[in-house]
A and B are shown apart, each in its own frame.
Chain A
Amino acid sequence: MPVNEEFKPTIVAFCCNWCSYAGADLSGTNRLQYPANVKIIRIPCSCRLNPMFVLRAFQRGADGVILCGCHPGDCHYTTGNYYARRRMTLLFSMLDFLGIERERTRVEWVSAAEGAKFAATMNDFSATIHKLGPNRRLEDLRCRKD
């Protein structure tokens, strides 16, 4: 898929309520820009992210999915992100094994103080997805917008 100048990737960012969602708020408070195609969904903890949600996003036309949570060791619920870390590692590995571009999925730990990191992460992720082009391997044609 050639890089399309007009291509505006859809990126879904799942953010845990306590660290990363607050980090995202902070990057707003500091007026740090990142692309508008990043849309945030608030979840209580990174461990709430069901692999089904990731697939659902790809089905419905997301080009990239990123999970942000508290840094390991800092989880509001003590251990949630440790479970999320294992789950996502294995899920991403499975997607990679199926030949889905591994760059389309990412996990990043962003604390409530890391507004700058949040913006930088989203800029970087968005650029990566832009380079990759639209998600064609894990989309549902019935959802494609033509």
Chain B
Amino acid sequence: MKFNTRKSLRAVVFSVGTSASLLAAVAAQAKDTVELGFIGPLTGGVSSMGLGGRNSAELAVQLRNADPNSKYHYELVALDDECKPNVGVQVATKLATDRKVVGTIAHYCSAVAMGTVDVYHRFGLPMTVWGAVLPDITYGNDYPEITRVNGTMINQNEKAASVMTGLGYKTFAIIHDTTDYGKGHNTYLTQFLTEGGASVVGAFGVTADQQDFTAELTQVKALNPDVVVYAGLTPGGVRVRQQMEKLGIEAVFEGVSGIKSDAFFEGLGGELAEGTMTFLEGAPAEKLPGGAYFLKEYEAAGFDSPPEAYGPFAFAAMDLLIDAVEASGPDRKAIVEYMGGVKEHASITGPITFDDHGQNTVALITAYVAQDGKWVVWEDSEYASGARKLVAPK
């Protein structure tokens, strides 16, 4: 067990660590310091995602500072949006009006991003979304300042529907939380499933912090679907899967990107998690050379919480932002312009190409299945090879 003091000392250890590993960098103080922002939920219910993103962004900054060839010295300003739009607007204003900050990556919660895009636009601060998946964040406006490295939930659900119907599943029951995240997934998944010839036999809205799903699952059991989908985040996903077992529901359990976390296994144990399907934007981190590098460095940095599903995106977004500064200088307008022209930019999540709304169009979506307490890329899994079997369609 780690001790608390360790954790509070972490920040200190880091700064000491980086400067020690970089005696050269002492000289590098000759470099100008450039401040870059990070915004995400650091407190409250989804803070694990925010902390994973924050750590990954911090890692990107550290690694670049360790590089003697970088033109500037970077500093991360991390702020907490509490997953609330009003707090988001507040911290976004703080960053955007701070002249020293030349760019930021921001937001895991879509409602917050929806509220803050105007702020970034108004003050001309380039912002790259690292986690929020609502399409409107990029497509609902023409702001050149706003870009996004991760895909939207449209891409994700299109892939999810095609994979699942391709496996022969016909009937789906969807349980979604009533946040924008869960509701959005419900809408798009239903749309693509219906288009793909499958049917959604029931959709149940639940609150994000709901503990007991017996009432909903009792009805699901009566509907006897091939697949039970949970559209929400890890805690809810763990509970739904857990309680499906209690009620003896025999169906494939499918999640969305929000449950693709290590915590899913920690909360559920490997056995129950086995055979859970989920989908996530981007190439699997461990498959790309950059991704493996990221995971290795993340491990080495000694963060005490995992990067979670969107950590790689936060890293990629921050890395891209730093590339922009390196290429066009610490100037907001120049960075916005640079971002507008990003094409086939190499990143740990695969190449990034922004369309005219700043959305990464190389929306590679990867299917994962839980196998032996790990998320395994579907194509590589024993399920795809036929060595193991998911619950068969009815």
**A and B co-occur in one complex:** no
Residues of B within 8 A of A (CB): none
